[in-house]
Structure 1
Amino acid sequence: MPKVPASIIKILKGVPETQLQTVCNKLKITDTLEYKSFIAKNPKVNNPCTTFLDTQLTSGNTSTISKLYRSIEGFLFIGGCAPGIGIAFNLIDACFCFALGNFFGCFMSIISCFPIPGFKVAGKGLEKILTGLLKHISPSKLLNNFHKELHKRLINYLGKGKIENGEIYHKCLCTIREQLEEMISGLNNPFATEIIRTLGRILNNLPTNGSKITKKIATPKINPHEIKIKSISIFEISNK
């Protein structure tokens, strides 16, 4: 089972317990047998929600993690960009996705953190995490599905009323693009840099009004097969 990067866990553990408590309640994590059993065994534990998530996500128990994720997946739309607790929703999603080998889902969950006020890439080690995730994601899948998945998440996280507000939607796209551009300066991997730069160009092609998005969005011309070959050669060289 893929091991959730310590850097993501560290960011998650940096979220105030009060916020994680709110999110765990909304996701109904606190209603699961796993959580109740954990509390019964650790009645005096400090920061119960933080400790429970840390324990589960680093346990290596795929069946339990999968069962927990299935129980919360339908509630994750509640507040990805909600003031104060949006980061927690996205980080929890990212951790579960990574633990279950859904690297594309993890990538998108992290990207979804970018429009949240106060969340910056710099200093959090996310450049290395996202670069690592790109090793496991087909470039063609990423480029073909990035705008669709991002749009879906922005609808879920912002709410339909706000997504129809062109100014708010456009601001989110600009924020994501700016943070992607900021990441590039910290990368020395040509493959990852080209993919991230391409994602930024895709964002430039998205309509400013989220309600008018279509499947005919122009994707920058890029050869996924060529990128894939390039990525293999780069990583082979770097690992020698």
Structure 2
Amino acid sequence: MSFLYWLSKFSQEAMLVELLLIACVTASYFGFLLIQKRRYGVAKKNIPDHVVRAFLVELLSFSEGFKNQLFGDEFKILAGKGLSVPAEPTVAASGVDAGELAAIRAALATSTAKVGELTALIAALTKDKSGLEARLAAAPASSAGGGADPKALADANDKIGKLESKLAEYEVIEDDLANLKKYQQENKQLRAQLEAGGKTPNVAPPAAAAPVAAPTAPAMPSLEPAVSAASPAPSEQAESASPVAAAEESAAASKA
């Protein structure tokens, strides 16, 4: 009531001035709100580049600091590769079961011994093969230059039979060579697993080689000496030299 009474004391001009002041204050307030909305509303949608750049630089500095604290100053990530986190937790070398390590070492020792045995066997067989090839090279000359002695021809037949049986044995060595390669691969894998921290090997322990049947010598055509005082005919010499040629061909095939 006092406010209305105070307003009623003024004239109409005073009332208009008061209304004008009220309108100015209201317009100023709404103008201030509009300016603030335009200024900060645009800033929320479009952030200046320098602000974003400064924020990214700060993030990079923080990430470098965390990386140095976790992995050291010399840690580097290769280009195109990120940090790979294993799906399953790995077991440290100190926590590996002693029985597993003993089994791995036993398998490694067995494979190493087997590789050594096969290497020595291959060296011995290679040496025997070179000697047999030399004998085969000397056999045609001795058979061609010999006379009609039955004992010499029988000895030549025995030697040729032994040589062909030896050459048949060399065909079996291919399986041993395959086993040697297998043991060498298992040896490398076991060594790599031991060096990696004693993880459980995925390779099964080397199985014993299957027994190889004894090779049978091919049937030899008998060489009967021609009972005559003169030298043998050319056809007889060709028949006596044919087993030697067959032995030479089998030796060349096994060598290839």
Q: Which bin holds the TM-score, normalised by the shorter protein?
A: under 0.3
TM-score by length of 1: 0.18
Tell me: higher relative CO, structure 1 or 2? Use CA pairs within 8 A at least 6 residues apart.
2
